Amino acid sequence: MATKEFDFKYYIRSRFFPHIWCPGCGHGIVLGSLLRAIHELGLDKNEIVMTSGIGCSSRISGYVDFHSLHTIHGRALTFATGVKLAKPGITAIVPMGDGDALAIGGNHFIHAARRNIDITAIVMNNRIYGMTGGQFSPLSGLGKKATTAPFSTIDNQFDVVELAKSAGASFVARSTVFHATECKDLLKKAISHKGFSVVEILSQCPTYYGRKNKQGDAVQMMEGFKTNTVKLGSKKLEKNPDLIQRGIFVEDTQKAEYCEAYDKIIATAMKGDA
C-alpha cells in the first residue's frame, strides 16, 4: 500500500527516467496529478492496471510501477475492456492522446462509453500528433497549422466533453495542466466513479503545436490555459462565450455498470433460466 507521505519514486519505475517527453511538455504534469490522486485515494498499486496505446501520452504506462500494458495505436480501451471483464475488481486506467483516443481509437471510445464499463479514460489533449511528427489531430481545430497542414487545417474538431456525453459516459470532466490540483481532484472522482469516466486534460505541446501556431513556449501556452478557460458556469461566459469550461459535466450514479450487468447474465445462464 501507499506510504503516508506522497513519494513520487514509490509509484514510478525509476530505471526509465529521465523521461522522453520534450522540454515543456505538459504530460509530466498529468502524470504527477494522476499519481497524487491515486495516493490520496489510498489505492494499492498492485490492484491497478494501466493500459495505453501509442503516442507521447502512452509512455505513461511504462513509467508507472503498476501492472501495465503498452498496446497498439487506438486500441487501448479494447485491451482494457478485456482486462476489466476478466478481473472486474481491478482499477483500470487508460491514458490516451487526442489522436489515439478519437482518430483511430474513436470507434472504441464511443462504444466503451456506451457500455459504461468501469474504466477511467484520460484524454491528454495537446491538439497534435506529437510522437510521429506533428500531424494534425481530430482536436486541432480549424485554421491550425501542422506538418500535414502547412497551409492550415480545414477539419472541424471534436468536442471531447460533448462526444463523451452523447456516447453515454457516466462521468465526464475537463481541466488543464495549469490547474494541476484541480486535475488531481477530478481524477480522484473519476477513478472512484463506478462506470465509464472521461477526463479531458488540456496539455501543451510547444515542440509542434505551439511552434507551428505561434503560441509561444510552454509557459506562454500554460498561461493560455489560465486565461482562456473558466470553471463551469462562470459569469465570465456572459462576456466571452468562447471560453473553455472546466469541471464536471456529467456524474451519473444510476446507470448500470457493464461488468456488474454481465455478471448477472452469467448468473442467469448458470441457473439455466432462458
The reported pLDDT for the residue numbered 199 is 98
Q: What is the mean pLDDT of residues 155-177?
A: 96
Question: Which pLDDT band, with edges at 50, 70 and 90, does 2 fall under?
Answer: low
CA pair distance 71, 78, nearest whole angstrom: 10
- Share of residues in the chain with pLDDT > 90 (%): 88
The reported pLDDT for the residue numbered 131 is 83
* 3-class DSSP assignment, residue 2: coil
Question: 154 is written with which cell numbers?
Answer: 480545414
Residue type, 266: I
Residues in the chain: 274
Is it the case that residue 1 has pLDDT exceeding 90? no
DSSP 129: B
Q: What percent helix, strand, coil does the chain show, rounded to 5?
A: 40, 20, 40
DSSP 209: I
Question: 100 is written with which cell numbers?
Answer: 489515439
**Topology of the domain covering 8-271:** Rossmann fold (3.40.50)
Please, what's the b/e burial string for 117-126 (b: 16 or more CB within 10 A of its CB; e: otherwise)? bbbbbbbbbb
pLDDT in tens, 61-104: 999 999 999 999 889 999 999 999 999 999 999 999 998 999 99
Question: Which pLDDT band, with edges at 50, 70 and 90, does 248 fall under?
Answer: very high
| Cβ contact 124:61 at 8 Å | no
Mean pLDDT of the chain: 94
Indicate the pTM of the whole model. Answer: 0.94
pLDDT in tens, 181-235: 999 999 999 999 999 999 999 999 999 999 999 999 999 999 999 999 999 999 9
The reported pLDDT for the residue numbered 272 is 77
Dihedral sign for Cα 163, 99, 157, 242, please. Answer: positive
Question: 36 is written with which cell numbers?
Answer: 497524487
Is it the case that residue 122 has pLDDT exceeding 60? yes
Is it the case that residue 274 has pLDDT exceeding 70? no
Q: What is the mean pLDDT of residues 149-164?
A: 95
* 3-class DSSP assignment, residue 62: helix
Domain boundaries, the chain: 8-271
